[in-house]
Structure 1
Amino acid sequence: MLNPAATPTVTAATHGSDLTATVHTAAQAATVALIVIIAASLYLLGCLIWPFGKCRRCKGAGKFKSPFGRAYRHCGRCQGSGLRIRLGRHVINHLRAVHGAGENTTTSKGKR
């Protein structure tokens, strides 16, 4: 009868491939994270330059035509401007408000 402990196993050969797979997975995750960070940065830069987008309800027209085509009414969502604030600009405005709240100009340092 064969002793199970005496049979050769090839587990040592698979340890190197596990490490290689882990390194490839970590490199791929880092690459994806870098791409996401770059894309988000470019989007926020675009929101700094162009803070407004077209209103989704009226598609930027600011008004709607009546069913018979003779009269117009203003869009209720954008109040007739045809513009909306982009999501990234909301994020930038929030970050500015949080940063501004941390700066307290009413207290003077060193004076009592």
Structure 2
Amino acid sequence: MLTAAATPYPLTATHSSELAATLTTTAHTAGQVATVALIVTVCIAFYLLTCAVWPFGKCRRCKGAGKFKSPFGSSYRHCGKCEGSGLRVRFGRKVISYYRRTHTAGTNSTSKGARK
């Protein structure tokens, strides 16, 4: 004869409670994913807004100085990367410019007499 102690599983069905626990965990994870997606979207929007207001950053090679000190003596030479300006266009500004250029090219009509 089998007794309840001899079986490794309880005699009552636990599948529904396991399913409910899985669904609860999944719903909680979906909420976390939505929160993270919202935070990432807000950060990207803030970065693009910042790039629209301040499109230039410091040149990474010369650190914004626009010049290098020569290895011999005290003379300076212009930075070849930024051509002596000390500035570079930020990546977000390049994205904004690409979107504007694509949008403008798509909305301009080349055939002016097509509506007549």
When normalised by structure 1's length, the TM-score is: 0.88
Instruction: Kindly provide the CA deviation profile for residues 4-54 of structure 1, in whole angstroms up to 9, marking residues without a partner as x.
Output: 9xx443222211111111110110000000000000000000000000000
Equivalent position SS for 1:42 = helix
Which residue of structure 2 lines up, in the alignment, with residue 46 of structure 1?
A: 50
In 2, Cα distance between the equivalents of 1:49 and 1:88?
Answer: 11
Which residue of structure 1 lines up, in the alignment, with residue 115 of structure 2?
A: 110
Q: How far does residue 69 in structure 1 lie from its aligned partner after superposition?
A: 4.2
Q: How far does residue 68 in structure 1 lie from its aligned partner after superposition?
A: 3.5
Which 5+ residue runs of structure 2 have no aligned equivalent?
A: none
2:78 to 59, 74, 78: 74
In 2, Cα distance between the equivalents of 1:105 and 1:36?
Answer: 36
In 2, Cα distance between the equivalents of 1:66 and 1:27?
Answer: 57
Which residue of structure 1 lines up, in the alignment, with residue 22 of structure 2?
A: 18
Cα RMSD (Å): 1.6
Provide closer, same or farther for how the CA distance between residues 11 and 105 of structure 1 changes in structure 2, counting only shifts above 3 A: closer
Letter in structure 2 aligned against 1:110: R
Q: How far does residue 105 in structure 1 lie from its aligned partner after superposition?
A: 3.3
Letter in structure 1 aligned against 2:79: C
Task: Quote the sequence identity (%).
Answer: 58
In 2, Cα distance between the equivalents of 1:20 and 1:49?
Answer: 44
Provide closer, same or farther for how the CA distance between residues 10 and 64 of structure 1 changes in structure 2, counting only shifts above 3 A: same
When normalised by structure 2's length, the TM-score is: 0.85
